[in-house]
Amino acid sequence: MSLRVEEMAVHFGGVAALADVSFEVEAGRITSMIGPNGAGKTTAFNVITGFLRPLRGRVLYEGDPLTGLKPFQIAERGIVRTFQKTNVFPQTAVLDNVMIGLHLRERAGLAAILLRRRRVREEEATLAALAEEILAFVGLAHRRREPAGALPFGEQRLLELAIALAARPRLLLLDEPASGMNPAEKTAVMGLIRRIREQGVTVFLVEHDMRLVMGISDRVIVLHLGRVIAQGAPGEVQSDPQVISAYLGGR
């Protein structure tokens, strides 16, 4: 067991976005969360990563509660997320975007930096090489010098993935990483996600494309109107009558 959400409730101005939602994300697997627009998927991500305080309920990661921690503290515990809306550092070069993602791996303190100690320079060199490696992994090596904001949409989404990977997640939360991509790009992203899982990273995925979700997931959680209406293996969920009526009917 890796991540556990217990009876989580979130209200926006009296309207329930999440109502007593409980589920688990198992370590080393790909778990997907699906559901129609407005089901509460992004809201759940925001609570898990500390961007939103829930009204009730709690989040446990490897047995420890995450409640009350700030986003950066949750990242320190190895939980890293991407955002549904494209999110890069637009004026910064692509390679530096990934370097920013490497923040938690760096140790250099203020004094060492001002004195430009040798180990600071060595650390910079090691991390630059690492950033290049991560960029190559997502297939953006050729863009390294360009400002991130100048990249086409699909490539910005890949860069977001690279930034998140740089933060060395043990649990990676991806909020519609393939939205807005063409079919070829989507297939490529799913391939990347599989490889990320193979490296031992637990993946928690939100995605609308049913075909992709069913093909890649070990487990699927279905959210509808702020409630979990089904969860299980892709096959089981797909044939669940409640899911069929809610998910397909809800469109």
Partner 1 sequence: MRRVGLGVLGALLLAAPFWVWNPYYVHILIMAGIFTILALSLNLLLGYTGQLSLGHAAFFGIGAYTSALLALRLDWPAWAGFVAAVLVAGLAGYGVGKVSLKLRGAYFVLVTISFAGVIYLVSVNWMELTNGPLGLPGVPPFEVAVAGLFELSFRSKPAFYYLVLGVAALAYLVCRRLVSSRIGRAFIALRENEALAESVGIDGTRYLVLAAVVSAAMAGAAGSLYAHYTRFVSPEVFLFTYTVTMVIMVVAGGKGTLAGPVVGAVLFTVLPEALREVTSWQWQMLLYGVLLILTVFFLPKGVVPALETWLRERRAIRP
Query: 239 is in the binding site of which of Mg ion, partner 1, ligand ATP, none (Cβ under 5 to 8 A by kind)?
Result: none
Neighbouring residues of 240: CB distance < 8 A, sequence distance ≥ 6: 222, 229, 230, 232
Q: Which of residues 5-64 bind partner 1 (CB under 8 A)?
A: 49, 51
Give dist(CA 161, CA 93) in Å, integer: 15
Bridge partners of 23, per DSSP, are 5
Six-digit token pair at 42? 């992004």
With CB under 8 A as the contact rule, the residue among 24, 26, 124, 146 that binds partner 1 is 124
* Interface with ligand ATP in residues 11-30 (CB under 6 A): 12, 17
Distance from the Cα of residue 184 to its chain's centroid: 21
Q: Which of residues 76-95 bind partner 1 (CB under 8 A)?
A: 76, 80-81, 83, 87-92
- When asked if residue 153 is in the footprint of partner 1 (CB under 8 A), the reply is no
Report the run of H or E that residue 158 belongs to, with start and end.
helix 153-166
Q: Cβ 2 to Mg ion, closest distance in Å?
A: 22
Options 58-66, 112-120, 204-212, 217-225: segment touching partner 1 (CB under 8 A):
112-120
Cα-Cα end-to-end distance for the chain: 33
Closer residue to ligand ATP (CB): 144 or 227: 227
204 in contact with partner 1 (CB under 8 A): no
